[in-house]
């Protein structure tokens, strides 16, 4: 028995003295199920998007700050399409019981409306008072149509006649014609027209087709309108249409036109058990997505009450689903300005480098026979993963390739390499996840292309979304068959590889290879395997192992240390375990990019827990779970976030980082670097607020950015190894 377990009574007996009279100590046991200990996940989600919005004020180049405003708008669209629509469905089903935080669906919707109204107002103010004036100062202007000169308006009318008018379809609404269907996220004009003969007014809807550029460029139109090389002028396409509505309604008087935009429920429910063909079922569900119930209506603040009521009545929504704005609708369209060729207004280009121990001329299989390769994207290049599949496709000794694809993106080089491998006679098996939200159409397209090439394509398990990132290559060598694996936290997507932070491991470790083989047997065949050699697989073994690791640190008490980096922390059981760890004195450091339902810093519950969120140039996407274990460390990384959906309803893989030097590198040069961030990090408070970490910096102390540090370190590698610079 250690001294820490010696009670006063035992100590007295050891000394041959009578037992001490120790007064009974009253210990207040905190109910860890108490709703007050949890932050609502939807409100936490909104707070993440608020942090994205705050990057519009940060020290980024101008067009990068504009990008963050577009990202914020796009994120909020998805929030309404999925999360708000889910709460509305719960209300319709009569669900009143809340989750861990205790808020009912109705209470959450009320809170969301209150917070989102404020944050939308802030976004419009940022555009109107911050970004747009600075764009004008840089020669980029989005002009109001009414303020254009007559010559420019005539030129735009000609443009309208040539490029816009042929694709417009005005839809009337009257007793003989039903209210037209309004598609999700479409921009529309509510047009009020008057018959000059009867003086009767009518309502019509004109959709702004998505195929048109939202921002119409104004080219030099006359000698007095010549633009300098840095001058770029635009006008909103809906204003061009509104100014030329007389061409759509000849003989009618145009009274007014008001822009509006709707958001629909796009969270599809798929009855997989009843689906004979999942691919066809997904295609049908995608078509139905356009007809989901309306969850949000965005209108201009000048829209009169009668138009507002017409829209609300026919869209079957309440006043709490209506959001008014003083700026342009659909700020995600500002991506069009970010595409401008103005490099001086964007982040400087950076070069990803080849991972350590690897050069572009190396045969990846030869290198992996000697050592594992660790990849930290986007600082390390994505090229070795592409090269691994391309080489496997051409290598005569490669017998089989198996991999999972979740989000592949447009024109994916890996998919083309897989098709080439099949042409070369390899056994190629690919699990394509058709239910990857908002990438379903792209995944269906590439699944069909792979099938057409002869690749064996499977779509996963009924009721489970396959989210793990695993590549397995089987190669014949002198000493028999050898398995090469690539395991990652991120998708096999060359585009996101440039903007998401992820980590991956290439290895010939026999246990990892065997686990990968058995995982694919689980995904493609019939297998009841529960335990793996080294993989932690959800929904089979991940939860119990994570909880066991936490419990082990709890047993170590104040000597315990947990560091976790994840996109989200929502799972109540994991949160309760972390609370108990804090109560036992364990130091818990959490790097949670987005949603976090845990409240840090609560006396008696979580005072030993610190939570930060890093928002910067790159989207933090890697997941790392570290447990100190008195120096006998355990570290896992993989595809799973700390959410019930990841742990219980998805196929996820977390894999160990076992090499001591590599594990130390991840702790010292990745995790601790994030925890030092004072420039791009926010610290979560017990009341749910996020406070910028620069608030805790002493006057005169330099701020520290983790992402800038990573870029600098890899730039140093690039300078030393010019022959190994990647994409």
Which residues are catalytic, by number? 467
SS (H, E, C) 36-49: HHECCHHHHHHHHH
Cβ distance 252 to 196 under 8 Å?
A: yes
Q: What tokens appear for 372 in the block?
A: 């594992």
Q: What tokens appear for 14 in the block?
A: 């050891």
Cβ distance 632 to 610 under 8 Å?
A: no
Cβ distance 72 to 94 under 8 Å?
A: no
Per-residue b/e over 602-613, b at no fewer than 16 CB within 10 Å? beebbebbbbbb
Cβ distance 263 to 296 under 8 Å?
A: yes
* Helix or strand run (H / E) with residue 566: strand 561-566
Provide the CA 604 distance to its chain's centre, in angstroms: 34
Residues 6 or more apart from 253 whose CB is under 8 A from it?
Answer: 193, 194, 195, 196
Give the C-alpha separation, 185 to 330, whole Å: 8
Helices (H), 586-655: 644-648
Question: Beta partners for 470?
Answer: 487
Give the C-alpha separation, 213 to 234, whole Å: 10
Backbone angles phi and psi of 284, in degrees to 5: -65, -40
- For 335, how many CA atoms within 13 A lie in the half-sphere containing its CB? 9
Give the C-alpha separation, 341 to 338, whole Å: 8
Cβ distance 614 to 681 under 8 Å?
A: yes
Please count the other Cβ atoms lying within 10 Å of the Cβ belonging to residue 432. 25
- Residue 694 CB-density burial (10 A; 0-12 exposed, 13-18 middle, 19+ buried): middle
Residue with tokens 């058709």: 434
Of 142, 252, 155, nearest to 206 by C-alpha is 252
Beta pairing class for 634-638 and 624-627 = antiparallel
Q: What tokens appear for 523 in the block?
A: 């995904």
Per-residue b/e over 391-421, b at no fewer than 16 CB within 10 Å? bbbebeebebbbbbbbbbbeebbbbbbbbbb
Of 445, 488, 444, 437, nearest to 465 by C-alpha is 437
150-158 contacts, C-beta under 8 A, 24 or more apart? 151/221, 151/222, 151/225, 152/218, 152/221, 152/225, 153/243, 155/221, 156/216, 156/218, 156/235, 156/240, 156/243, 157/243, 157/244
In order of 291, 383, 471, the CA distances from 72 in angstroms are 25, 30, 33
Give the C-alpha separation, 97 to 100, whole Å: 10
* Helix or strand run (H / E) with residue 305: helix 305-315
Q: How large is the angle between the packed helices 413-423 and 383-394, nearest 10 degrees? A: 10
Q: What tokens appear for 82 in the block?
A: 């999925």
Q: What tokens appear for 25 in the block?
A: 């100590």
């Amino acid at each position: 028995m250690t001294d820490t377990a010696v009670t006063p009574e035992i100590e007295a007996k050891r000394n041959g003295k009578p037992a001490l009279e120790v007064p009974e100590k009253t210990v207040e046991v905190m109910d860890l199920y108490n709703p007050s200990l949890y932050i609502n996940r939807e409100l936490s989600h909104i707070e993440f998007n608020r942090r994205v919005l705050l990057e519009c004020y940060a020290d980024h180049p101008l067009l990068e700050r504009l990008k963050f405003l577009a990202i914020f708008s796009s994120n909020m669209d998805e929030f309404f399409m999925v999360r708000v629509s889910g709460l509305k469905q719960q209300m319709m089903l009569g669900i009143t019981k809340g989750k861990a935080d205790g808020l009912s669906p109705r209470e959450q919707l009320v809170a969301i409306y209150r917070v989102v109204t404020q944050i939308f107002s802030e976004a419009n103010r940022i555009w109107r008072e911050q970004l747009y004036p600075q764009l004008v100062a840089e020669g980029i202007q989005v002009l109001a149509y009414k303020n254009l000169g007559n010559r420019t308006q005539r030129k735009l009318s000609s443009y309208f006649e040539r490029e816009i008018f042929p694709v417009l379809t005005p839809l009337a609404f009257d007793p003989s014609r039903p209210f037209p269907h309004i598609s999700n996220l479409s921009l529309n004009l509510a047009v009020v027209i008057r018959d000059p003969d009867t003086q009767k007014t009518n309502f019509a809807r004109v959709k702004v087709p998505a195929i048109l550029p939202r921002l119409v460029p104004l080219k030099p139109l006359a000698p007095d309108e010549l633009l300098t090389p840095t001058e770029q002028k635009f006008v909103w396409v809906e204003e061009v249409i509104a100014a030329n509505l007389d061409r759509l309604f000849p003989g009618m008087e145009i009274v007014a036109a008001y822009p509006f935009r709707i958001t629909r429920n796009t969270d599809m429910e798929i009855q997989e058990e009843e689906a004979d063909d999942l691919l066809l079922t997904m295609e049908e569900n995608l078509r139905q997505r356009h007809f989901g119930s309306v969850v949000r209506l965005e209108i201009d603040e000048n829209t009169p009450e009668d138009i507002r009521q017409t829209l609300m009545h026919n869209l079957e929504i309440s006043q709490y689903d209506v959001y008014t704005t003083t700026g342009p609708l659909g700020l995600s369209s500002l991506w069009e300005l970010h595409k401008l060729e103005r490099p001086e207004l964007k982040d400087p280009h950076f070069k990803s480098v080849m991972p350590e121990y690897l050069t572009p001329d190396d045969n990846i299989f030869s290198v992996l026979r000697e050592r594992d390769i660790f990849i930290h994207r986007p600082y390390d290049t994505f090229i070795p993963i592409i090269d691994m599949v391309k080489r496997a496709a051409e290598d005569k000794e490669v017998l089989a390739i198996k991999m999972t694809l979740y989000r592949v993106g447009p024109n994916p080089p890996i998919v083309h390499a897989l098709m080439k491998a099949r042409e070369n006679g390899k056994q190629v098996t690919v699990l394509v996840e058709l239910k990857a939200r908002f990438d379903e159409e792209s995944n269906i397209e590439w699944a069909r292309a792979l099938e057409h090439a002869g690749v064996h394509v499977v779509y996963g398990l009924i009721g489970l979304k396959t989210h793990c990132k695993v590549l397995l290559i089987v190669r014949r060598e002198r000493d028999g068959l050898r398995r090469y694996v690539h395991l990652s936290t991120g998708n096999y997507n060359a585009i996101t590889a440039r903007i998401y932070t992820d980590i991956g491991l290439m290895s010939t470790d026999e246990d990892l290879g065997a686990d990968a083989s058995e995982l694919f047997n689980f995904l493609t065949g019939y297998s009841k395997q529960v335990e793996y050699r080294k993989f932690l697989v959800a929904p089979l073994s991940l939860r119990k192992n994570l909880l066991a690791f936490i419990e082990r640190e709890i047993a170590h008490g104040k000597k315990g240390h947990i560091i976790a980096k994840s996109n989200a922390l929502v799972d109540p059981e994991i949160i309760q375990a972390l609370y108990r760890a804090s109560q036992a004195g364990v130091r818990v450091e959490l790097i949670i990019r987005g949603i976090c339902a845990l409240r840090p810093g609560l006396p008696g519950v979580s005072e030993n827990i610190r939570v930060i969120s890093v928002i910067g140039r790159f989207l933090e996407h890697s997941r790392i779970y570290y447990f100190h274990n008195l120096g006998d460390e355990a570290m896992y990384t993989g595809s799973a976030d700390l959410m019930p959906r990841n742990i219980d309803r998805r196929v996820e893989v977390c894999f160990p980082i076992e090499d001591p030097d590599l594990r130390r590198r991840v702790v010292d040069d990745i995790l601790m670097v994030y925890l030092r961030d004072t420039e791009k990090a926010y610290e979560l408070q017990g009341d749910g607020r996020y406070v910028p970490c620069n608030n805790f910096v002493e006057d005169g102390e330099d701020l520290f950015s983790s992402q800038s540090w990573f870029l600098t370190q890899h730039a140093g590698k690039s300078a030393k190894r010019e022959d190994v610079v990647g994409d």
